[in-house]
Structure 1
Amino acid sequence: MTGKQDPKQQSKTGPGEDGVDQEPWAAGEQGEQIREAVEAALAEQRDLVLRAQAEVQNMRRRCEQDVEKAHKFALERFAGELLSVVDNLERALAAVPPDGS
Structure 2
Amino acid sequence: MENYFFEIDEKVARDEVFVLIIYDIVDNKRRIKLAKYLQGYGFRVQKSAFEAKIPKRKYQKLLREIPNYIDDCDSVKVYKIIGSGQVTAFGKNMDIETEDVIVI
Q: TM-score range by the shorter chain?
A: under 0.3
Structure with greater proportional strand content: 2
Relative contact order (alpha carbons < 8 A, sep ≥ 6): 1 or 2 greater? 2
Q: TM-score, normalised by structure 2?
A: 0.19
Q: TM-score, normalised by structure 1?
A: 0.20
Which is greater in Rg?
Answer: 1
